[in-house]
Copies of this chain bind each other. A is one copy, B any other.
Amino acid sequence: MEKKTYTIYDIAEATNVSPATVSRVLNGNYPVSKKTKEKVMAKIQEYNFQPNSIARSLSKKETKMIGLILPDITNPFFSSFCMELEKYAQKKGYTIFLCNSMNNSEMESVYLKVLSERQVEGIIMMGGRINKSLTDTEEAAEVLEVMKKIPVLMVNGEMAGVDCYQVRSDERLGMKMIMEHLVERGHKNIGLLGGKQGITSTDIKVEGFKQLLLENGLVYYPEWHIYSGFSVESGQKAMDKLLENKELPSAIICMNDMVASGALVACNHQQIDPKKFALVGYDDSFVADILTPSLTSINHDYEKLGTVALDLIINAKNEQEALDVTKKVTIDPFLTKRNSTAR
């Protein structure tokens, strides 16, 4: 015979009290009359009832679950962060729900709503709405609404008017490390491929790129700076366009490793030796290792990003709006040198 699993509702019905009362008896967090308590406890014993984790979590508000909303799980930047976050979450006894919005704002809204209704203890957001240089006010309002119930942390992004937890790898510093490396290698003509205007991770790098050229006495040539996107295909298109120029840079910085991969594909298709250029990526994902030549790239320090993000969000619920709480942490990236910039 199939064993019936009793719920808090069965106990409530059998004892003619509300489910909330059963929960109070179980958790002892609110006063309940002695008579009711005895009646409920007797039924719990009779039914051999094991309070399930939802009943427990509903009353204790501890689900040990964190939601992570990101725009594209196939991009190794996001999956690498994920992996480090999950490794640390496992150590800390937390479960992560991954929500892949496919860079769709409506999907982000659905996930924000569903996660907050499912009582996660915190929501970590990456990409999408938090990476717009101009915050969308409706999108911000939704996040603020969620924050009334649950702490929110943004990784490498922010929204105007939303004072939430933030962890950020210093992309301006990353660009500086690249530029110093290229200048030290003797490059004076440097191009920049990929990304999208209006996306903060792009805008920060572009701004840094221009300023650092200036600081190093180098010239910014607009024809060597091509926006295209973040995918392999977009990198290929950008490189094809760059190669239409008569004069070419000696070094090319790409917005991420996927764009750099696309640049290499373009070279291979056009039978141009990619070693003609010093090539630098960004994100230092596994992709950087498998390309030919292997790709010099900036590493976000995923492990640190993941651990700091989780620590901030799980401690958030314990912080009673203390004024001295660090809500924003910046992490230094590092440069991994490989063959693509070897002399």
Contact = CB atoms under 8 A, between A and B. Distances in A.
A159 B139 CA distance: 44
B117 A90 contact: no
A95 interface: yes
A246 interface: no
B100 A86 contact: yes
Contacts of A113: 53-54
Contact of A73 (B98, B261, B262, B289): B98
Contacts of A80: 74
Interface in A57-81: 65, 73-74, 76, 79-80
A66 to B, nearest CB: 12
How often does this chain occur in the complex, in copies? 2
Contacts of A82: 73-74, 100
A59 to B, nearest CB: 15
Contact of A74 (B76, B117, B148, B232): B76
Contacts of A87: 102
Contacts of A262: 290
A232 B285 CA distance: 12
A117 B54 contact: yes
Given A111-B95, A286-B232, A83 B74 contact: yes
A99 B89 CA distance: 13
B54 A114 contact: yes
A25 to B, nearest CB: 21
A97 interface: yes
A110 B54 CA distance: 10
Most buried by B among A83, A96, A100, A290: A290
A318 interface: no
Contacts of A107: 90
Nearest to A138: B2
Question: Top 5 nearest A-B pairs by Cβ distance?
Answer: A98-B98, A292-B292, A261-B290, A74-B79, A73-B79
Given A74-B83, A95-B111, 11 more contacts: A73-B82, A74-B76, A83-B100, A95-B99, A95-B110, A97-B97, A97-B98, A97-B99, A98-B99, A268-B294, A287-B290
6 contacts: A52-B117, A74-B80, A97-B99, A264-B292, A268-B292, A291-B292
